[in-house]
Structure 1
Amino acid sequence: MNMIKTLMAASILSMIAFGASAATLTATGDTLDSTEAVIAAKAKAIGAESYTITSARVGNIVTMSAETK
């Protein structure tokens, strides 16, 4: 019983730590540069140290996603 409680507590704490360390950001814009600037501003606003662009789609508009670190 004590082992189950310990495992549950460790699982919950690891989920909380993971959720606090990464966020997904999305933005749209007219150019790659302007869209990345929006991503950078959003990352700065939430206090992220850095971000990695995970996808970018260019059509009539640019859609970009990023993960913060």
Structure 2
Amino acid sequence: MKKTLNLLFDRLSEYLARRKGLLPLLGMLLILANLILQWSPAAGWLADTNLLLHLGLIVAILGFMLAWAL
């Protein structure tokens, strides 16, 4: 289990090292999707809780931190 997890993190690290802007871009797209859902009356609890906004912010911040570290 430990070896498999280590291999997974190594591959993920190598993948993200070459694509430094991928996670911040994904985070910004999630934030934009939340903005669009705010105008949709059918969005329901997803728009009320601002779930995509919070997930997008976390993903973008982690992406900037990883890009700076890698």
Q: TM above 0.5, one fold?
A: no
Greater fraction of residues in helix: 2
Greater fraction of residues in strand: 1
RCO higher in structure (CA 8 A, sep ≥6) = 2
Q: Which has the larger radius of gyration?
A: 1
TM-score by length of 1: 0.31
